[in-house]
Structure 1
Amino acid sequence: MKFINMLVLIMSLALYSHTFAQTETENSLKDSLYIQEVESDKQPIKVLHAEPLYIDLIRDLGARKGEKEWNVGIGMTDKLSHDSYEALIEYEFAPIDRLGLEVELPFTFHSPIGNASEDTILANKIESLKIATQWTFFVNERMATSMAIGYINEFVLSDFKQFGSPVLTGNVYNPFLIVAKRWGNNFHSLIYTGPVIEQDFESKEYHSTYDINTSFHYMIPGTRNFIGVEFNQTVDTGVLETTIRPQMRVGITDNLMIGIVGGIPINRENERLSSFVRLIYEPRHHKKN
């Protein structure tokens, strides 16, 4: 946590100095040029939106054919009796205009705290093989609004101790809807919502929850950097659980960015603060003439 806090402080100072090193006129011009580049008339219509960093999108809304992105993430959550470490490797791409596909491998590792017994915590495992698709069915430049539908399927895997007997222990079905709007050049809002249905192969039982993820971001003038917040909410058997995730994204090079996310649970009795870092690499996209 100290490392994450230090990294946040360093990047906050970098954002501060970078922002105020430029004049308001220069920043406004760069904002307009960046939006114009993304929303160029020579390409299929696309509206620039800030993408949340924790519950991220399958691909940019209005994705264009040939776009692709690699993500590597790592995070830690204080679970009272143990620390839970998460990691992920993710590849997303657009085979055709407006269609995004994604493959992800999320990992989870657990470490007991204090006198907690290892028998009381969950086993280490590759959580699942996630395969997802997302289709942007509405793009309106005048309203600066985009809408998409999508579906995530998770093939739940057994833990490392039991791996192979069986390999698959369940399935997770997650259809979702996304609505995003940009307000002016710098303010962004987005809602990502849908049911999550978990199937256990052994017990043959199903468990359903409903996710409501909203986010608000401010893109720093003259840059691709932003600061913002996600509200990750889950309705489970009539109980609403909420985690607030303040976050920031900083560009390192033209096609490499880092996102830093904090987690503040509101009404989760078995969870304290958390942190998450996402490294985002976008291979250069060869635009169509």
Structure 2
Amino acid sequence: MKQLKKVLPTLLLAATASLANAQHQSAPGDTTLTKKPLKLVHAEPLYIDLIRDLGAHKGEKEWNIGGGLTDNLGYDQYEFLVEYEWAPIDRLGLEIEVPVTMYSRNNKDRNPEINRPSDRIESLKLAAQYTFLVSGRLQTSLAVGGITEFEMTDLDRIGKEELFHGILLNPFLVAAKRWGSNFHSLVYTGPRIFRPFGHGEGRTDYEVNTSVHYMIPGTRNFLGVEVNKQFTSEGFDMVIRPQMRVTINEGLMIGIVPGIPVSKEKERLSSFVRLIYEPGHRKLRH
């Protein structure tokens, strides 16, 4: 009996450790808790970017800071943006963005006060995107989403007019496909419906943005081209944007985008740079 009393605590301790180890390794449903739904890597265009990665996983987040310059016929246009995007649940991306546009006179402007628009905080932009299909067999992802922009009045009119002068709605569809290991294509399309608060006429435009990229094997770097096409009541506009994305470190990338308009009636060459920061990014297997 005395020997049993001595051995019993040791046996109990060993049994407890063994049980805990077994539960940790093969508890029922344990793999289900950690397993994430399928997500394909797609090259995302840099100028008209997505709300979040297609097939985003819960907890993903990203900061973007962008800046650009466009040479218009009578003035130069400077654009800046700050945006934050995150995935509260698997496959759902949300975004909030504040874009700012400023203008300056250039040497071609003979009537600067007449031709040059006023500086403005463009809008408060809220957006959502849901990936409803991720097919490993087809290497394809499909998503739907919507952008709501509360458009703001010019900076020199704040205090004299209402802060928000209209709302812009942009429902959209995204289709992306991988061709082999390194080539990617994407289509982003939908109407842009503006409705003013109060007086003034609304308008409806339609945009079709297409892109093709080559992703350098073993990296997140890519080279490609994005083509932004817009159909308006005034006609058709198209801008070709060659682009490249370069990884600075695991969670920080920079995108460089020149713009070449097909028609130079409204604008000439442009440039745009996007700094992309993904806190806590983990490398995703291609």
Shift of 1:274: 0.2
Shift of 1:124: 0.5
Asked if the contact 1:170–1:200 (Cα under 8 Å) also holds between the matched residues in 2, the reply is: yes
Q: Does 1:131 align with 2:147?
A: no
Aligned equivalents of 1:259 and 1:66: distance in 2? 23
Aligned residue for 2:22? Answer: none
2:165 alignment partner AA = T
RMSD (Å), alpha carbons: 1.5
Q: Does 1:207 align with 2:203?
A: yes
Shift of 1:286: 7.8
Whichever of the two has the greater Rg, that structure is 2
Aligned equivalents of 1:124 and 1:271: distance in 2? 18
Q: Does 1:94 align with 2:87?
A: yes
Q: Give CA-to-partner distance per residue, 1:217-245, whole Å, 9 cap, x none.
A: 00012211000000100011272211000
Shift of 1:163: 1.4
Q: Mark the runs of 5 or more structure 2 residues left unpaired by the alignment.
A: 1-33
TM-score normalised per structure 2? 0.83
Asked if the contact 1:134–1:148 (Cα under 8 Å) also holds between the matched residues in 2, the reply is: yes
Aligned equivalents of 2:167 and 2:111: distance in 1? 30
Q: Does 1:167 align with 2:160?
A: no
Q: Give CA-to-partner distance per residue, 1:232-263, whole Å, 9 cap, x none.
A: 00011272211000000000000000000010
Greater RCO, CA 8 A, separation 6+: 1
Asked if the contact 2:255–2:273 (Cα under 8 Å) also holds between the matched residues in 1, the reply is: yes
Paired residue secondary structure (1:272): strand
Aligned partner of 2:265 among 269, 273, 277:
269
Q: 4+ runs of 1 displaced by more than 3 Å?
A: none
Shift of 1:141: 0.9
Aligned residue for 2:187? Answer: 191
Q: Does 1:151 align with 2:140?
A: no
1:257 alignment partner AA = M
Q: Give CA-to-partner distance per residue, 1:47-99, whole Å, 9 cap, x none.
A: 11000000000000000000000000000000111000000000000000000
Aligned residue for 1:56? Answer: 49
Shift of 1:204: 4.1
Aligned equivalents of 1:179 and 1:251: distance in 2? 25
Shift of 1:205: 1.8
Aligned equivalents of 2:250 and 2:281: distance in 1? 12
Asked if the contact 2:251–2:281 (Cα under 8 Å) also holds between the matched residues in 1, the reply is: no
Aligned partner of 1:117 among 112, 130, 144:
112
Asked if the contact 2:250–2:282 (Cα under 8 Å) also holds between the matched residues in 1, the reply is: no
Aligned equivalents of 1:285 and 1:81: distance in 2? 43
TM-score normalised per structure 1? 0.83
Aligned partner of 2:226 among 226, 230, 253:
230
Aligned equivalents of 1:60 and 1:231: distance in 2? 20
Q: Give CA-to-partner distance per residue, 1:11-43, whole Å, 9 cap, x none.
A: xxxxxxxxxxxxxxxxxxxxxxxxxxxxxx932
Pairs aligned (count): 247
Paired residue secondary structure (2:155): coil
- 181-190 or 232-241: bigger deviation: 232-241
